[in-house]
Amino acid sequence: MHIMECGLIRQRQDFIQVAKSMRIGIINVRYDADKDEYLISHDEYDLDCRMSRTLHATFYNSQNEVINSYNRSYADFEDIIPGTNGEAVYDAVVLLKETRENARRL
């Protein structure tokens, strides 16, 4: 028997099922005041597994010119580290999801 949690494949004997997890994509803007540069990224959060990954990111200088860009659409999910900005974004995404679900129930 082989079991991998969090959106990966679960396999038991001859039966294989893909575990479904709640994933949400967001656009994230981060500003670096020391360098006067900013980053716009498309991030995906796996809410069931408390993990995230950056799918695409573009870095801009103070004149709004692209200075770097990368596409990581097949990047692996990484654990969200407690006490970081990543955790704050994760918590905000979870809160938004819960608020929207509660509003639908009214």
Dump pLDDT digits (tens) for 61-101: 999 999 999 998 788 899 999 999 889 999 998 998 889 88
Count of CB atoms situated within 10 Å of the CB of 78: 11
DSSP structure class, residue 105: H
- Tallying the residues shown for the chain, one arrives at 106
Q: What is the pLDDT, as a whole number, of residue 6?
A: 55
Q: Could you give the CA distance from residue 100 to residue 58 in angstroms, rounded to a whole number?
A: 29
Q: Is the pLDDT of residue 7 over 70?
A: no
pTM of the model: 0.71
Q: Is the pLDDT of residue 46 over 50?
A: yes
Using DSSP's 3-state secondary structure scheme, residue 68 falls into strand
Beta-carbon contacts of residue 54 (< 8 Å; ≥ 6 apart):
41, 42, 43, 72, 75
